[in-house]
Amino acid sequence: MKREQLVEKILDIKREKGWSWKYVSEEIGGMSPILVVGALLGQMKLPKPLAERAASLFGLTEGEKRMLNEVPTRGVAMPPTDPLIYRLYELVMVNGPALKALIEEEFGDGIMSAIDFDLEFDRLPNPKGDRVRLVMSGKFLPYKYYGAEQGVPEYGFKEE
């Protein structure tokens, strides 16, 4: 079985049982619902105790349970074709240069980690239509200036 087939099996069971992602992520627990759902959709790895809970919940085989604990090949074809995912891509493409400039001005020469990272979402009621709120927090990782000589910073932290 391939990861994509396991994802389809999980989606079929979820649909058949009438479960919500909220229910599934609460039953499995242990980490952010975004990570739990991401793992069940084939984009993340579930730690062994959570893979055990997911396998029990979905009635998976031993091999399928082990697959949930394997590191997947992550990502989707670019640009994405799903409208919601495309809008998130568009958000980064349009706002990315400004965010890059502001992050570099504040922190220095580096990147925001997408591995040492927190992501939250919630619903904000609004009379003009409810809003989706995304909160991202990633560790700043400065570039290392390897071969730096004495007097030259070793890392790209903001210079005062």
CB < 8 Å & 24+ apart, contacts of 117-120: 118/32, 119/32, 119/34, 120/32, 120/34
Q: Dihedral angle at the C-alpha atoms of 154, 157, 159, 160, nearest 10 degrees?
A: -130
Q: 112: burial class by Cβ within 10 Å (0-12, 13-18, 19+)?
A: middle
Residues known to be catalytic: 87, 90, 113
